[in-house]
């Protein structure tokens, strides 16, 4: 039997890689963006009302404009980890409205297994998978939209498996005559149905609010997201900022209230949002703080990308900086199946 310690080490490493709150939950991949447009804007945008991938994060943005649109996403992540998603929306009929479906996967690659004595026993694989179905409803005589996702989750490491169910509940204010959009989302309310090894772990619950504003007479739209409202203290001391005294005592980084507050914030800017070519910039304050190095400028927290419309196809790309030794690239292909001409 492969050592359980190997599996536990892997679980810790994968959790840290995805930068969740303290690494205390199961299925953390659910809070990682796979959309190139969203990643370029900082990774946590909620108010992309015209994006087929947005309902994976905010189901209240499901609307008829997304009918028969398809998107496929691929992320070349760190340490040979690959993940991605696919999204599709379809108008059932005028009475029922739009149904959105999505699938998200993570492939962690191959690992070397060992017994309790350190003898190699071969290799094993690990992966995560989630399938979601979403629906939104406009509250009559208002500009408020409510939506929900139902997600079925499966995770496997070697011959260990775990399954879960979760839902997202969201509310969005949108009026196409107004320059602003507001959203609030509670993500991953759920339950780990089957566990890895007797221990049932909490879901990666996250409460998020977001807003966007389109500047008048300027082809620019701003986005801001305030995340992890369910937990005020999200700050963790950065080992790079540890200081040593002459006596050899180690002093950890002290994090102020102001610093912790900003770690809840992500901002993004999209230039020419309605044109065939878009430019995007984003900044994730928490990622920047947690991954900074004292002697090297890492540019962690910074993201950028672009979108290019070509008839019924659209290509989106995002570049995300985590560490000087490695970058993350995200690719998205969108296809408007309702458009007959190229």
Average pLDDT over residues 293-315: 87
Enter the DSSP assignment of 238: -
Q: Where are the alpha helices (DSSP H) in 125-252?
A: none
The percentage of residues in the chain with a pLDDT greater than 90, rounded to a whole number, is: 62
Closest residue by Cα to residue 315 from 336, 296, 287:
336
Say what the pLDDT of residue 293 is.
Answer: 74
Say what the pLDDT of residue 39 is.
Answer: 95
**Superfamily grouping for domain 4-336:** monomeric porin ompg (2.40.160.40)
Higher pLDDT, 342 or 79: 79
Taking 50 as the threshold, does the pLDDT of residue 16 lie above it? no
- Please state which of the ranges 108-117, 189-198, 271-280, 315-324 shows the lowest mean pLDDT: 108-117
Say what the pLDDT of residue 8 is.
Answer: 36
Q: Please write the tens of the pLDDT for every residue from 143-196.
A: 999 999 999 999 998 888 999 999 999 999 999 999 999 999 999 999 999 998
Say what the pLDDT of residue 152 is.
Answer: 97
Say what the pLDDT of residue 167 is.
Answer: 97
Environment class of 151 (CB within 10 Å of its CB; exposed 0-12, middle 13-18, buried 19+): buried
pTM here? 0.86
Say what the pLDDT of residue 183 is.
Answer: 97
321 and 293 Cβ atoms separated by less than 8 Å: no
Say what the pLDDT of residue 188 is.
Answer: 97
How confident is the prediction for the chain on average, in pLDDT?
87
Under DSSP, is residue 308 helix (H, G, I), strand (E, B) or coil?
A: strand
Environment class of 307 (CB within 10 Å of its CB; exposed 0-12, middle 13-18, buried 19+): buried
Domain ranges of the chain: 4-336
Taking 80 as the threshold, does the pLDDT of residue 249 lie above it? no
Which range of 24-28, 39-43, 195-199 scores highest in mean pLDDT? It is: 39-43
């Amino acid at each position: 039997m492969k050592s359980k310690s190997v599996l536990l080490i892997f679980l810790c490493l994968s959790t840290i890689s995805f930068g969740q709150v303290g690494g205390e939950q199961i299925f953390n991949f659910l809070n990682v963006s796979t959309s190139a447009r969203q990643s370029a804007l900082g990774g946590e945008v909620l108010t992309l009302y015209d994006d087929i991938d947005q309902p994976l994060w905010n189901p209240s943005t499901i609307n008829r404009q997304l009918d028969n649109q398809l998107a496929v996403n691929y992320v070349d992540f760190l340490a040979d980890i690959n993940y991605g998603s696919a999204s599709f929306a379809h108008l059932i009929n005028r009475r029922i409205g739009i149904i959105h479906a999505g699938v998200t996967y993570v492939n962690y690659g191959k690992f070397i297994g060992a017994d309790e004595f350190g003898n190699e026993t071969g290799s094993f694989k690990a992966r995560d998978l989630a399938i979601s179905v979403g629906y939104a409803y406009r509250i009559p005589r208002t500009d408020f939209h409510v939506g929900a996702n139902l997600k079925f989750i499966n995770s496997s490491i070697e011959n260990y498996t775990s399954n879960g169910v979760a839902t997202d509940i969201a509310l969005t204010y949108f009026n196409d005559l107004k320059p602003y959009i507001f959203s609030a989302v509670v993500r991953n309310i759920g339950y780990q149905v089957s566990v890895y090894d007797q221990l049932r772990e909490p879901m990666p619950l996250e409460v998020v609010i977001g807003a966007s504003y389109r500047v008048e007479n300027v082809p620019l739209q701003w986005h801001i997201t305030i995340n992890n409202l369910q937990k005020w203290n999200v700050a963790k001391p950065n080992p790079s900022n540890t200081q040593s005294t002459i006596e050899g005592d180690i002093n950890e980084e002290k994090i102020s209230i102001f610093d912790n507050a900003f770690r809840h914030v992500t901002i993004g800017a999209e230039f020419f949002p309605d044109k065939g070519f878009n430019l995007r910039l984003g900044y994730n304050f928490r990622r920047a703080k947690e991954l900074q190095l004292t002697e090297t400028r890492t540019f962690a927290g910074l993201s950028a990308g672009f979108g290019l419309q070509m008839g019924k196809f659209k290509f989106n790309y995002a570049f995300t900086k985590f560490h000087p030794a490695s970058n993350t690239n995200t690719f998205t292909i969108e296809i408007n199946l309702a458009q007959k001409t190229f």
